[in-house]
Amino acid sequence: MNLPHDKKMTESDQGMFTRGIYDFDDPSGSLMAVRIPPAGAADLYDGTRILVKPTQTALFIYNGQITDALGPGNHLVHTENFPVLTRLANWRFGMESPLKCEIWFLSSADFLGRRWGTGQPSLVSLSDIGSIPIRGYGNYNVKIDDAKKFYLKVIGSRTAIDISELDDLIQGQILQSFPEALKLLKVAKDLNSMQDKISEKLEDLVNTKLDQFGLELEDTQVLSLTPPSEILQALDEKVAMNLIGDLQNGQSNGSPQRRLAGLGSHPSHDGNDARQGPRRS
């Protein structure tokens, strides 16, 4: 539909413009779901075209009920293509009045590099040093795994939903699952060596909780597992004490134990041992 440059598009013109085709593009890449049009209902005629992008699913809502879902492709509206909607609406094509329903476009793409972190530490019992508090942080990717569950459990009365609106939901599930994943830690050195396994365990636990919302985490990463600074200092002191104990068990004259003892003596300015006193002439 072409309009003169000096003519504004009226509400009637907009209805005519959107009558034949419905699709959605998101240049921002942040929208998980959007209703087209945002207000009112879509007008479906026999032959109306629905364009669903490769990373999208289109849901049709009639009287609050999900009727049909379309995957990626170029779809023409016919009664045989929309069996549930046709039955519920007692739809017969050829009538001048269109069938009115909601169309939702939901993204099935991965939303990448979302961050998570623990505000409060979780207490972990380690066999070599006892119980210590641990904080963690990392990142994850998330996607809509089940469009129908997502619509029923998440969208509610919104007309669009941005990925940032789900940060609190996902963060909450991660924080609930984090202490359970930390049970894989057995000794202090696991804080560095077990991060990959803890990442996998955390993702499995969180996905079990997010399944009801039609969401799925992917490539979850634990980038850091850190005790508070005072605990780290105490651990350093304990490592140092253990090292001293090992050195003191040396037996030979050239043992590390003797070298450690030598660190405590201070030679005099003339090169003599200060403990021997001045040399008589």
Tens of pLDDT along 115-124?
Answer: 999 989 999 9
Residue 133: phi, psi to the nearest 5?
-80, 140
pLDDT at 63: 85
Q: Could you tell me which of 24, 35, 78, 95 has the C-alpha nearest to residue 60?
A: 35
pLDDT at 52: 97
pLDDT at 258: 40
Would you state the structure tokens that stand for residue 23, as one six-digit string? Answer: 């699709």
**49, 100 contact by CB (below 8 A):** no
Cα torsion for 70, 74, 78, 83, to the nearest 10°?
Answer: -10
With left for phi above 0 and alpha for psi between -120 and 50, is residue 114 left, alpha or beta? beta
pLDDT at 142: 98
Grouping H, G, I as helix, E, B as strand and the rest as coil, residue 82 is: coil
pLDDT at 276: 45
Which residues in the chain show pLDDT less than 50? 1-18, 243, 251-281
| DSSP label of 272 | S
User: Residue 111's CB: how many other CB atoms inside 10 A?
Assistant: 21
Dist. CA 101–CA 65, nearest whole Å: 10
Would you state the structure tokens that stand for residue 278, as one six-digit string? Answer: 């001045």
Residue ranges and CATH numbers for the domains of the chain are 11-107 (no CATH), 111-227 (3.30.479.30), 239-264 (no CATH)
pLDDT at 62: 87
pLDDT at 165: 97
pLDDT at 92: 60
Would you state the structure tokens that stand for residue 144, as one six-digit string? Answer: 């809509």
CA contacts within 13 A on the Cβ side of 238: 10
Dist. CA 142–CA 15, nearest whole Å: 35
Q: Which residue has the tokens 């505000």?
A: 119
Dist. CA 262–CA 104, nearest whole Å: 78
Beta bridge partners of 136: 225
pLDDT at 6: 38
- Asked whether the whole model's pTM tops 0.85, one would answer no
Q: Could you tell me which of 187, 238, 198 has the C-alpha nearest to residue 118?
A: 198
**113, 94 contact by CB (below 8 A):** no
* First-to-last C-alpha distance (Å) of the chain: 116
pLDDT at 21: 92
**162, 26 contact by CB (below 8 A):** no
Tens of pLDDT along 65-103?
Answer: 898 899 999 998 877 777 777 676 666 655 556 788 899
**100, 67 contact by CB (below 8 A):** no
